[in-house]
């Protein structure tokens, strides 16, 4: 729905909507209030696992709608349950954390928040991934489904999840008894705003949609000394450089070219002065794959290459590189359940039209939502995408989004009205389809 049209509808209609009103009109009636909430959330972002204000702000709203709400699940998450007769259990998830980024959008409600990282370092904070649109749509969907209780039967479980950006949130909620303390879902839906689609267009990838993500640290140890006497040292900078280059052969020469993967060295830190060869260098890597066996091959290969290059350089056994895989930060790939994804895709095409629905290729970004149905055949889950690129900007680059801000950019400013209204409408019709009365 066009934002101006939605706003005008909102001024003329009540938020409860009349029986004759369409779903789009009812969402349009809610939109002015929702946009106020969105701007509030955007201006007050919270870092991963530090989300305190956000769930406290949303929990009372959900209780007003008739949900039973439990806060502080998985540290800072919230779970809202509405039982509405016999039927399936559907879970709808929204993530709520922001990023340590200084906002540069120029929006009048831009974030000026300064937070603290876990090591105490102060940092600007911004909703640079659009989770503020996710939270707002989550409440909007709850409001629509609560108003339409006569049209569905079953149990609705809606969760606000913390720590998606760090890969901790889904694990924390599951570890805190999400499926034992609350109804276990048979279906899970989530959406993410997209910087690769025009505003209001829905994208869905049956099968893999986001990648497995691993953070790997390598401490390359050498023997330091004077820069004028390199022969008396084992230079860790040269050794680390050799490791960086050799790592690329894992993708280019050891992996099946039909299996996507990325090995990126994002940080290389060593040394303190021009004429000092240091004792060690530190590398930080991100490793991204889809298939578990490809992930294992790459992680094993990283350790092998690091050790092999050190042996080649003559580093003694007691100074071999230390390779640390941050298992606590691992995010598994999100594999959309094929049956549910195709069901949703057909539903969206029928409801929105083919011009607003597309099949997307998999992405190498990470998302921990797949944990909710990973390795559990009793649960079907799907993550879909809602375009956020303002139409004028999309047209100005002829759809070449490499020329526009991406997710996690300090300049990312989606067409929030289009994202929120489209996502709410899509999530509501998907929920009604799953929970439809026999």
Q: Do 126 and 102 contact (CB within 8 A), yes or no?
A: yes
Q: Do 310 and 220 contact (CB within 8 A), yes or no?
A: yes
Burial readout 237-264 (b: 16 or more C-beta within 10 A, e: otherwise):
bbbbbbbbebbeebbeeebeeeebbebe
The one catalytic residue among 25, 132, 164, 280 = 164
For residues 248 and 188, state if they share a domain: no
State the pLDDT at residue 388: 98
Range of the domain at 249: 212-329
Contacts of 37 (CB under 8 A, 6+ apart): 136, 139
State the pLDDT at residue 436: 95
The one catalytic residue among 30, 51, 97, 425 = 97
Q: Do 204 and 354 contact (CB within 8 A), yes or no?
A: no
Residue length, the chain? 438
State the pLDDT at residue 118: 94
**Residue that is last in its domain, among 281, 311, 329:** 329
For residues 350 and 228, state if they share a domain: no
For residues 57 and 189, state if they share a domain: yes
pLDDT > 90? residue 19: no
State the pLDDT at residue 269: 98
Three-class secondary structure of residue 134 per DSSP? helix
For residues 375 and 269, state if they share a domain: no
pLDDT, tens only, 92-109: 999 999 999 999 999 999
Q: Do 96 and 50 contact (CB within 8 A), yes or no?
A: no
Query: Mean per-residue pLDDT for 18-40?
Result: 86
Q: pLDDT > 70: what percent of the chain?
A: 95
- Joined together, the tokens standing for residue 290 give 């889809």
Tell me what the pLDDT averaged over the chain comes to.
Answer: 94
pLDDT, tens only, 326-364: 998 899 999 999 999 999 999 999 999 999 999 999 999
Provide φ and ψ at 21, rounded to 5°. Answer: -70, 145
pLDDT, tens only, 108-129: 999 999 999 999 999 999 999 9
State the pLDDT at residue 12: 29
For residues 165 and 301, state if they share a domain: no
pLDDT > 80? residue 18: no
For residues 317 and 427, state if they share a domain: no
164 is catalytic: yes
* Model confidence band, residue 312 (pLDDT cutoffs 50, 70, 90): very high
CA 316 to chain centre: 42
**Residue that is last in its domain, among 279, 298, 329:** 329
Query: Mean per-residue pLDDT for 76-89?
Result: 98
For residues 10 and 148, state if they share a domain: yes
For residues 340 and 410, state if they share a domain: yes
Identify the CATH number of the domain in which residue 394 sits. Answer: 3.40.630.10
Whole-number Å distance between alpha carbons of 413 and 416: 8
**Residue that is last in its domain, among 329, 351, 377:** 329
* Model confidence band, residue 1 (pLDDT cutoffs 50, 70, 90): very low
For residues 337 and 373, state if they share a domain: yes
pLDDT > 80? residue 371: yes
Q: Do 259 and 294 contact (CB within 8 A), yes or no?
A: yes
Identify the CATH number of the domain in which residue 293 sits. Answer: 3.30.70.360
Contacts of 127 (CB under 8 A, 6+ apart): 41, 42, 45, 98, 99, 111
State the pLDDT at residue 222: 96
Query: What sections of 162-274 are H helices per DSSP?
Result: 169-175, 178-181, 236-249
In the chain, how many domains are there?
2
For residues 17 and 40, state if they share a domain: yes
State the pLDDT at residue 397: 97
State the pLDDT at residue 438: 79
For residues 279 and 183, state if they share a domain: no
Q: Do 184 and 376 contact (CB within 8 A), yes or no?
A: no
For residues 299 and 262, state if they share a domain: yes
* Strand spans (E) along 89-235: 89-95, 114-116, 122-124, 154-161, 187-198, 202-204, 207-210, 212-221, 225-226
Q: Do 142 and 158 contact (CB within 8 A), yes or no?
A: yes
33, 157, 168, 193, 211 from 187: Cα distances, Å: 29, 10, 21, 21, 21
* Model confidence band, residue 11 (pLDDT cutoffs 50, 70, 90): very low
367 is catalytic: no
What's the longest Cα–Cα distance across the chain?
Answer: 85
Closest CA to 321 of 312, 337, 332, 309: 309
Query: Mean per-residue pLDDT for 306-319?
Result: 97
Query: Mean per-residue pLDDT for 196-216?
Result: 97
């Amino acid at each position: 729905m066009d934002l101006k049209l939605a706003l005008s509808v909102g001024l003329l209609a009540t938020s409860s909507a009349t029986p004759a009103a369409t779903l789009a009109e009812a969402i349009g009636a809610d939109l002015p209030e929702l946009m106020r909430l969105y701007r509030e959330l955007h201006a007050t972002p919270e870092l991963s696992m530090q989300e305190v204000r956000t769930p406290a702000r949303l929990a009372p709203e959900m209780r007003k709608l008739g949900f039973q709400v439990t806060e502080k699940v998985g540290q800072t998450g919230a779970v809202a349950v509405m039982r509405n007769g016999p039927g399936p259990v559907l879970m709808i998830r929204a993530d709520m954390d922001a990023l340590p980024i200084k906002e540069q959008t120029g929006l009048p409600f831009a974030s000026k928040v300064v937070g603290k990282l876990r090591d105490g370092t102060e940092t600007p904070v911004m909703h640079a991934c659009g989770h503020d649109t996710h939270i707002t749509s989550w409440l909007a969907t709850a409001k629509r489904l609560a108003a339409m209780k006569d049209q569905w039967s079953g149990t609705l479980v809606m969760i606000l999840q913390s720590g998606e950006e760090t890969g901790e949130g889904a694990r924390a909620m599951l570890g805190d008894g999400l499926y034992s303390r609350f109804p276990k879902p048979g279906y899970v839906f989530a959406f993410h705003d997209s910087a690769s689609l025009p505003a209001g267009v829905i994208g869905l990838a049956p099968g893999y949609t986001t990648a497995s993500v691993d953070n790997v640290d390598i401490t390359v140890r050498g023997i330091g000394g004077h820069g004028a006497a390199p022969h008396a040292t084992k230079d860790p900078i040269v050794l680390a450089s050799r490791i960086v280059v050799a790592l690329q052969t894992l993708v280019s020469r050891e992996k099946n070219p039909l299996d996507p993967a990325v090995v990126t060295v994002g940080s290389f830190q060593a040394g303190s002065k021009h004429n000092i060869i240091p004792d060690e260098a530190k590398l930080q890597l991100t490793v991204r794959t889809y298939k578990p066996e490809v992930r294992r091959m790459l992680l094993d290969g990283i350790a092998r290459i690091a050790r092999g290059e050190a042996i080649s350089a003559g580093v003694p056994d007691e100074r071999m590189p230390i390779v640390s895989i941050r298992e606590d930060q691992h995010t598994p790939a999100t594999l959309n359940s094929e049956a549910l994804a195709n069901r949703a895709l057909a539903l969206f095409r029928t409801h929105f039209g083919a011009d607003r629905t597309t099949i997307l290729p998999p992405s190498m970004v990470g998302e921990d939502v797949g944990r909710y149905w990973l390795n559990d055949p009793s649960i079907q889950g799907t993550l879909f995408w809602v375009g956020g690129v303002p139409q004028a900007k999309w047209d100005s680059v002829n759809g070449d989004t490499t020329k526009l801000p991406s997710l996690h950019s300090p300049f990312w400013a989606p067409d929030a009205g289009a994202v929120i209204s489209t996502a709410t409408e899509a999530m509501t019709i998907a929920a009604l389809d799953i929970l439809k009365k026999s």
